Amino acid sequence: MDYLEGLNPEQKAAVLQTKGPVMIIAGAGSGKTRVITFRVAHLIRNGVDSFNILVLTFTNKAAREMRERINKMVGPEAKNIWMGTFHSVFAKILRVEANKIGYPSNFTIYDTDDSKSVLRAILKEMQLDDKLYSVNSVLNRISAAKSSLVSPVDYQNNPQIQADDDSSKRPLLGKIYETYVQRCYRAGAMDFDDLLFKTNELLRDHPDVRNKYQHKFKYIMVDEYQDTNHSQYKIVKTLAAVSENICVVGDDAQSIYAFRGANIQNILNFEKDYPDLKIFKLEQNYRSTQNIVNVANSVIANNKEQLKKHVFSEKENGDKIKVMRAFSDNEEGKLVADAIMFQRSSNGLKWHDFAILYRTNAQSRSMEEALRKNGIPYKIYGGLSFYQRKEIKDLIAYFRLTFNPNDEEALKRVINYPKRGIGDTTVDRIIVAADKNSITPFEVIIEANRYVEKAPASLFAFAAMIQSFQVITKNQSAYEAALHIAQHSGLLKDLYEDKSVEGLNRYENIQELLNGIKEFSEREDIEEKGLDVFMQDVALLTNDDKDKDKDADTVSLMTIHSSKGLEFPQVHIVGLEENLFPSQMSLNSRSDLEEERRLFYVAITRAEYKLTISYATSRFKFGTLISCEPSRFLDEIDAKYLDLDFTAKPVSAGGSFDDERNAWSRKADTFSKPKAAAAAPVKTTSILAKAHVPSPGFKPSDTSNLQVGMQVEHERFGFGKVLTLEGNKPDVKATIFFKEIGQKQLLLKFAKLSIISGVE
């Protein structure tokens, strides 16, 4: 038993309890993986045949790590364990048993693109509107049905489902689902959801197969049990029905995948399935400081649906959790970048010691730009860099083509997106004609009747559209031109009509790009503000290394969902604002709100010894500046764990630093203002509506002797107070707090300021 040394008492007890149903509630950083691997090793060392052990995980990475650890403890026997993700393990079983359900053993596994291709063909054959029946939304609907073990027949015979489809004006979804399943079957193919759906079907309809695997898998362990969906739950319950030697490991406080079909009730109600269940709680957090653990506990305590536990840390108290307030999302990015620079230089850290976590992918823009301006290397995890996302590249391709019609790659990217009836054959003919006549493809398009056989009318319309964009860009601001192109190209409309989760994200990303252009248009430190100048900046932003070493020394940027299972010495959680985090879509039910709170809990517990939280009091949304209020989650953190020292920023126009310090020392007054009702519309404030009318006789002053503390007037931004001055003449930058719009940084040689009074 020497190999069990190093386990704490609760971990050891969980490892030794090998018989009967067991639930291990593993708090964040409590050594969950260690317990699973030791438990498997203990079984093998005590005579259990490794072929009779089934370990189910949610990632291949987790399975590999566990197998490597077990191999070090028991040797080659580790290779015989049935260990892997749900999909990989049950695909293996289906290969053996496929003939029982009418599939060949070499069936194809369709990925998402394959599934979408099949659905596109079906929608075309059925002559359905591909906007109303968008491929993404149809595939999501089918996936949800399969995860809930609803067959096409069940789907079409369920009155509630049919009523839902009728109300969404998509009554043929059931028929599409049925046809899709038939096509996959005819092709001898299964999609990812089928790997679980068909396993359930196999175990349900074939007693011999069910009996075989129930007796084969005498010991079953499931990692991250809180993330299982109904289909996974049924498989595990069926396989464990004979031996009942089932051990599930998880943390209800980290259940954050309901949007993928995960059902938290699986872990909350596990004891109802197994009344003689033995429960072990791993409550010691080995990852984080006491302050970080205490903050996480104070937040999650507000959830009603949970398995009670008391997570604790025996590490040092550590720093209090810093809360930073910014006046805009761009300033939030600057504050975060500055904080990382300071912490790295003062503590001798590496860039990879830092992570920035956000609720939505669109938030990465302001963070990326701030990091780049500071020369901080970074990498986006769990997603593409903002400017590398398809929808962003599509709109930028329109910009590129507008300014340079000879840009062949941009032309090929957008000529038929959104769809306008210009097929691949036509594009090929255009390219051939251009090569043959030594002219550009766009010149071919302009005179398509001369160069292209059976040229579609849409070619001329496309050329006219691009030429109209060229006129617009000469007469409009960068933002107005960009918005015009996004709208009149059809791209914005195409994304808006896709109501799937992915579609909404893409639409939000386009809006975020337009927000960035809006801010660029209003900068006072540059004279040239056309869309072509913005494009030059973007060209530099996107010219990054695509083949970065995955182990390179870079700051990590990712959504909180992508961060689960990871840990970093220092973590920044950004965007803690109502309707952003928690998401506005989560405010309609307690269960949704509690999932958002669990997401915040996951974010907090990624930090090892320093955690910083930030929010903005305003941010652009759809080209309009909206006021933001701090997230309700900040209310839920005990003030004694927080550092709310914001003396560097005025609390209100004209406020002194002493007023600021006093205001922020009263946390209740800061965060506990009444929250708007969930259904209340968001109040927005247009930038134009806030335009300042200059005072009579307004005249810009000589600012060469401007000093900190002076009161000034700007012809557009109104009255303000100079906070800081930095740089050397003639490139001095002034940070000014304006009463109406908050903080702005202006380049004095371009700013039109009138000095109202001297230093206060």
User: Minimal CA–CA distance to 245: which of 477, 18, 444?
Assistant: 18
* Residue of 191, 193, 224, 578 marked active site: 224
Show contacts of 472-478: CB within 8 Å, 24+ apart: 473/402, 473/403, 473/530, 473/531, 473/532, 477/521, 477/529, 477/530, 478/517, 478/520, 478/521, 478/529, 478/530, 478/531, 478/533, 478/534
512 is annotated as an active-site residue: no
* Residue of 11, 12, 32, 389 marked active site: 32
Whether 219 contacts 54, CB under 8 Å = yes
Q: Where are the alpha helices (DSSP H) in 657-721?
A: 657-665, 667-671
**Cα angle 595-597-603, degrees, rounded to a multiple of 5:** 105
Q: Tell me the C-alpha distance between 422 and 247, whole Å.
A: 57
- State both tokens at 59: 């990632």
CA-to-CA separations, 81 to 53, 68, 212, 215, in angstroms, rounded? 6, 12, 17, 15
User: Minimal CA–CA distance to 115: which of 134, 136, 101, 131?
Assistant: 136
Q: Is the dihedral of CA 172, 178, 183, 184 positive or negative?
A: positive
Amino acid identity for residue 382 in this structure: G
Q: Tell me the C-alpha distance between 286 and 293, whole Å.
A: 10
**Annotated binding-site residue? 30:** yes
User: Minimal CA–CA distance to 708: which of 655, 757, 646, 759?
Assistant: 759
**Annotated binding-site residue? 27:** yes
223 is annotated as an active-site residue: yes
606 is annotated as an active-site residue: yes
DSSP state of 677: P
Axis crossing angle, helix 390-403 with helix 501-521, rounded to the nearest 10:
40
Q: Tell me the C-alpha distance between 251 and 266, whole Å.
A: 11
379 is annotated as an active-site residue: no
Query: Strand 711-714 to strand 753-757: parallel, antiparallel, or no bridges (unpaired)?
Result: antiparallel
User: Minimal CA–CA distance to 221: which of 441, 35, 27?
Assistant: 35
DSSP state of 533: H
Query: Is omega for the bond preceding 207 within 30 degrees of 0, making it cis?
Result: no
* Residue of 413, 518, 606, 632 marked active site: 606
744 is annotated as an active-site residue: no
**Annotated binding-site residue? 758:** no
User: Minimal CA–CA distance to 422: which of 462, 469, 474?
Assistant: 462
DSSP 3-state of 733? strand
33 is annotated as an active-site residue: yes
231 backbone dihedrals φ, ψ, rounded to 5°: -65, -45
* Residue of 33, 156, 542, 685 marked active site: 33
**Annotated binding-site residue? 28:** yes
**Annotated binding-site residue? 647:** no
- State both tokens at 538: 């973007």
Whether 718 contacts 738, CB under 8 Å = yes
**Annotated binding-site residue? 26:** yes
**Annotated binding-site residue? 689:** no
**Cα angle 744-749-751, degrees, rounded to a multiple of 5:** 40
Amino acid identity for residue 754 in this structure: S
Sheet-wide strand order for 53-57: 82-85, 53-57, 219-222, 246-250, 22-26, 278-282
Show contacts of 498-501: CB within 8 Å, 24+ apart: 498/134, 498/136, 498/137, 499/134, 499/137, 500/134, 500/136, 500/137, 500/140, 501/140, 501/259
Rounded to a whole number of angstroms, the CA Rg of the chain reads 30
Phi/psi-derived region of residue 695, left when phi > 0, alpha when psi is between -120 and 50, beta in every other case: beta
User: Minimal CA–CA distance to 336: which of 346, 349, 324, 321?
Assistant: 324
- How long a stretch of residues is the chain? 760
DSSP 3-state of 232? helix
Show contacts of 299-304: CB within 8 Å, 24+ apart: 299/597, 299/600, 299/601, 299/604, 299/633, 299/636, 299/637, 300/253, 300/597, 300/598, 300/601, 301/636, 302/597, 302/636, 303/253, 303/594, 303/597, 303/598, 304/590, 304/594
* Residue of 97, 223, 660, 713 marked active site: 223
**Annotated binding-site residue? 78:** no
Q: How many CA atoms within 13 Å lie on the side-chain side of 140?
A: 14
Output the known binding site for ATP. Answer: 26-33
Give the residue numbers annotated as catalytic, written as ranges: 32-33, 223-224, 254, 606
